[in-house]
Amino acid sequence: MSSNAEITGPVSQEDIEAAEKLKNEANEFFKKQNYNRAIELYTKAIEKNSKNAVFFANRSIANLRLENFGYALSDASKAIELDRAYTKAYYRRAAAHMSLGKYKLALKDFEYVTKVRPNDQDAKLKFSECNKIVKKIAFEKAISVDKKEVNIADSINLDAMTIEDEYEGPALEDGKVTLKFVTELMEFYKQQKRLHKKYAYKILIDVKAYLQKQPSLIDIKVPDDEKFTVCGDIHGQFYDLMNIFQLNGLPSEKNPYLFNGDFVDRGSFSVECIFTLFSFKLLFPNHFYMSRGNHETRDMNHMYGFQGEVTSKYTAHMADLFTEVYNWLPLAHCINNRVLVMHGGLFSKDDVTLDDIRKVERNKQPPEDGIMCELLWSDPQPMMGRAPSKRGVGCQFGPDVTNNFLQRNGLDYVIRSHEVKNDGYEVAHDGKCITVFSAPNYCDTMGNLGAFITMTGKDLTPKFTTYEAVPHPDIKPMAYANSFFSLLCQ
């Protein structure tokens, strides 16, 4: 959230004191992880006194916590403009740049601090760590250009992997996922045990082979009298995923599901979530669907924990294979030609059709603009028209944009996820844009409910089921996240 309030003349002592009081109140809400309320109060403080860099820097970190990277970036830049010597503002801006995958710009901020404060050991350390990341990425890019033809899935030799006698976990039957396997797998994971790497690799190879044959937009047919369930972000919250199946039944041919992206990152049971979901995908390929989210991408996985978790529980090689598999996840699903489901939202252009989505070449990391990017990153707004994204990627779209898109494509409404909602869901744009978010008490801090949507094929009227978070083992969210990034966000 950014304020346009600019104070051109001197600020009265009364306003300075009122602003300071609002900032202190905001800080208390920030400590309680109520970032939305904190942002509201920082904004009020800025309206009283827009010449204090601290207010902008504090609002920047609150926006970072809500993944509003675009707002975080502009607030940090404003704080720097007001106080060139304010080190913390450079760190905030660097964190926003890193969240957007702009590591070289982050490095520039650290470099500036080391120049103006040559004796600041903390700044030197952060510059050095960021420099390592920039060099590592440049090195990886150089290798990937050299080895462009290398296909990780094809290079894996499953026959060379032996199942040790002491392994007592679930086993594939003739190399195939069965209901017995996936049922045992979920129980195995509840006991915090690990699937054998041979079976893990086999699932990934098989899922990739299946997804490669699918279009970027999947058409789903739900019979009149049958139920269909749409779930939003899961974010590595395995025990809450198990609760969804407890409340709504296991996936089956009679109980189909669509999981709408962001299966991993932040929550520290992402490996368990993704192998459970991929197992159901292989077991019921025509009754279990998965959309790509903005967190099924290399940069987000690097920052927010999934890469670290896979490397810790398996290998860095497997983390690279996941990136290869995620590139093939579909970008959107259309239910009975009437309801479009995507992770993020709609588009910066008016003339996009379902056929345009079908034609998207998706086997890549998302670009910074265009249809693929906006499907993964965009958000609705209550105002008419469009606005730049609070996230710094994608766009914000109003009810008129939604209405025009639906009319052009003969659709009733859209379902998307991507945003935490207190009730687990939100109905916006006159009922035509629905958000569903299925990770309750997100990151163990947000206090939100989770939700899923059920409907029948006949009328496709959305019904909402909400639920609270369930207990999980004492492993904190972001336990595997990039430690350098966590330091920046303190």
Write out the catalytic residue numbers.
295
Sequence-ordered list of residues with C-beta below 8 angstroms from that of 168, at least 6 positions apart, any chain: none
Sequence-ordered list of residues with C-beta below 8 angstroms from that of 407, at least 6 positions apart, any chain: none
Round to whole Å and give the CA distance between 31 and 29: 5
Beta strand pairing call for 425-428 and 217-220: unpaired
Q: Are 331 and 357 in contact (CB under 8 A)?
A: yes
Q: Are 238 and 472 in contact (CB under 8 A)?
A: yes
For every residue of 219-247, DSSP letters joined together read: EE---TT-EEEEE-B-TT-HHHHHHHHHH
Enter the DSSP assignment of 484: H
Round to whole Å and give the CA distance between 243 and 246: 5
Tokens of 167: 């392994």
Q: Pick from 203, 207, 198: which is nearest to 159 by CA?
A: 198
Tokens of 226: 């049958």
The C-alpha angle 386, 387, 390, rounded to 5 degrees, equals 135
